[in-house]
Amino acid sequence: QKVKEESVEFLIPSYACQRRTSLDNHNTNFTDALSHLAENAELNNEDGRAVAFRRAAAVLKALPVKVTSITQLRGLPCLGEHSQRVIKDVIENGVSSEVESTIHSERFKALKLLTGIFGVGAKTADRWFKEGIQNLTQLANSGHDLNRAQQAGLEHYYDLNQPVTKAEAEAIGDIVKKAVLDVLPGSEIILTGGFRRGKITGHDVDFLITHPDEGKEVGLVSKVVSWLTARGLLLYQKNTRNSYLESEDGPAQPPSNMDRFERCFSIFKLEKKEIPNRNWRAVRVDLVVSPISQFAFAVLGWTGSKLFERELRRWAGQVKSMSLSSHALYDNKQCKYLRATSEEEIFTHLGLEFIPPSERNA
């Protein structure tokens, strides 16, 4: 029996944090195209445009079937005129001409290559591109003074652009656990980021650490870094102290993507016997330490995806008059912080159905 295309309509709520997005995406042809345009907008520092493309892609990721006709998109949220044009182009021609010309442009290729260097953001890459720097050799010959992060990024460029596997993440997890428990017994360590969402590869490995006795965790990052350094396990590291202070009468910090936990951005030297001559590879690792009272917020904030996080904060602000960060949830109407000891409680405070990590892949 023939099913009329017109009858296929989906009920998709408009905030990504209101819906389940697993890793099996039936619409990669469209979401890849939209992601390229989002990436290009990010490289051009056009944040609003980037988010619009990311939201459109996230809606298509949440659909239970492959879209084959533009009529199926009727009633879906977050699909602006531009995104619909791209989708239509892909349906009719297999590819979007705008996406093709973007990703093959000299500018996009160069900016992507340059921002692929750890420590190089869109603004720096753009400045270099305008000076005629389009590849790593030109950068090395340019005489630019690179900071410590960028030097390490250039030195380990190849390794850091190879996906990190789940097995590698687990091997690093074992080392981190050993280090943390050695310097502060009783600590808890969890793997966050993409791996917690069930991804099988990542661009880095993210760990969140806490201790059940509030205050014991202070200064933990530098002790762990000393432990790892003494064993020759770090190729690069940069620590920052906790700079978060909670005040009585409102959020101490304006809502921001960047949290203020004690942390270490590092590059691990991971032993890999199978790599000839060298026996190791470089892997980006983030270590973040949270006081136990903020741990649920930290776990939620570090699990991602980035869009899911962004949508949670937008929902909190726009729908609930609350401010959510990786540290706390503040109710602007009641003028008080809402405590939580689990992710489930935070979703409840926000009036949202609990979405497990594996379905936060928006």
- Residues near ligand DCP (CB under 6 A) are 193-194, 199, 202-204, 206, 257-258, 301-302, 304-306, 309
| Catalytic residue (one of 159, 206, 213, 259) | 206
Closer Cβ to ligand DCP, 8 or 317, answer by number: 317
Tell me which amino acid residue 334 is.
Answer: Q
Bridge partners for 267 per DSSP? 236, 284
357 makes contact with Mg ion (CB under 5 A): no
Closer Cβ to ligand DCP, 71 or 243, answer by number: 243
Least Å distance between CB 282 and Mg ion?
15
Reply yes or no on whether 145 is catalytic.
Answer: no
Closer Cβ to ligand DCP, 87 or 120, answer by number: 120
Least Å distance between CB 39 and Mg ion?
17
Q: Which residue is nearest to ligand DCP (CB)?
A: 304
Cα–Cα nearest to 261, from 306, 302, 224, 314: 302
What is the DSSP-derived secondary structure letter of residue 2?
P
| Residue that is written with structure tokens 């609350």 in the block | 322
What is the DSSP-derived secondary structure letter of residue 244?
-
CA dihedral 90→95→99→103, nearest 10 degrees, is 150
| Catalytic residue (one of 89, 126, 159, 204) | 204
**153: its two tokens:** 């990024």
Least Å distance between CB 361 and Mg ion?
13
- Considering only the stretches 79-87, 91-99, 117-125, 204-212, report the one whose residues sit in contact with Mg ion under the rule CB under 5 A: 204-212
| Residue 302 binding partner per list Mg ion, ligand DCP, none, with a CB distance cut-off of 5 to 8 Å that depends on partner kind | ligand DCP
Q: Compute how many other C-beta atoms are within 10 angstroms of the C-beta atom of residue 30.
A: 26
H or E element, residue 257: none
Least Å distance between CB 206 and Mg ion?
5
CA distances from 19 to 15, 62, 303, 323, 355 (A): 7, 7, 16, 20, 8
Q: How many Å apart are CA 352 and CA 211, to the nearest integer?
A: 28
Closer Cβ to Mg ion, 126 or 206, answer by number: 206
Q: Which residue is nearest to Mg ion (CB)?
A: 193
Enumerate the active-site residues. 204, 206, 286
